[in-house]
Amino acid sequence: MQKPVDLMVITAHPDDAEFGAAGTVARWTTEGKSVVYVVCTSGDKGTSDRSLSTEVLVAMREKEQRNACKVLGVTEVVFLGYQDQTLEDTPEFRKDLVEQIRIFQPATIITLDPYRRYLWHRDHRIVGQVVMDAVFPFARDHMAYPDLLDRALEPHKVKEILFFGTEDINHHTDIEATFDLKLAALQCHKSQVSELGNGDLRTWLRNRCRLLAQGSPYKLAEAFHRIELPD
Ligand SMILES: [Zn+2]
């Protein structure tokens, strides 16, 4: 039986979590808390290099994600294997997320905000939406999936969700101490950040985290919309 984890990070693509939440993840792991990632697609459309085949890109991006997780001290990373740019709000996808939530029983989930307006990757919007539905009510109601119960995947109540990429910030985390880990984890995604030199990436990321810290007492922050779930 899996021991309940403290935090589950659910994203659409390899690198989403490093852009949006890796400083927070590193805070949790350095405090000895357990973190798992669930990555819904393997980012198999995320390149402008026409010489790369889908298989090569999938292998590359999954490896980059695993390397980033190693840097951050993340215990486990699960790839659901959906194709990039194909996520939809379907009963199958929702059930896949419920299954992971019931396996790992996280107290907190970090995911993408579905309510960001205008330019926002469709997969991001869908993941946020489906995670929310999976958490409440599907993961917590025993009648929802009798076959999961048969597999001893008991209902689970998540306590809070932190949405990143949000336009409605109500929660900051101080990432000054873990900024270098966030940068190192982001640098693992070579296929995505290679056009920026290391120095450039550091400057860009620092400016971004400084901007996100506005309205908080911190110098460098990640910003979320936080909701608490009823007991
Ligand atoms: Zn993404």
What is the tens place of the pLDDT at every residue in 61-116?
Answer: 999 999 999 999 999 999 999 999 999 999 999 999 999 999 999 999 999 999 99
pLDDT, one tens digit per residue, over 139-183 is 999 999 999 999 999 999 999 999 999 999 999 999 999 999 999
Tell me the average pLDDT across 122-148: 97
Instruction: Please tell me the distance between residue 113's alpha carbon and the centre of ligand 1 in angstroms.
Output: 12
- Kindly give the pairing relationship between strand 171-174 and strand 221-228: antiparallel
pLDDT of residue 194: 81
pLDDT of residue 206: 97
Peptide bond into 137 cis (omega under 30): yes
Instruction: Please tell me the distance between residue 151's alpha carbon and the centre of ligand 1 in angstroms.
Output: 32
Amino acid at 223: A
Instruction: Please tell me the distance between residue 85's alpha carbon and the centre of ligand 1 in angstroms.
Output: 9
Instruction: Please tell me the distance between residue 16's alpha carbon and the centre of ligand 1 in angstroms.
Output: 5
pLDDT of residue 223: 98
Amino acid at 4: P
Q: What pLDDT band is residue 219 in, cutting at 50, 70 and 90?
A: very high
pLDDT of residue 198: 65
Instruction: Please tell me the distance between residue 15's alpha carbon and the centre of ligand 1 in angstroms.
Output: 7
Instruction: Please tell me the distance between residue 171's alpha carbon and the centre of ligand 1 in angstroms.
Output: 21
Strand partners, 161: 109, 227
Instruction: Please tell me the distance between residue 27's alpha carbon and the centre of ligand 1 in angstroms.
Output: 22
pLDDT of residue 46: 87
Instruction: Please tell me the distance between residue 41's alpha carbon and the centre of ligand 1 in angstroms.
Output: 9
Q: What is the pTM of this model?
A: 0.97
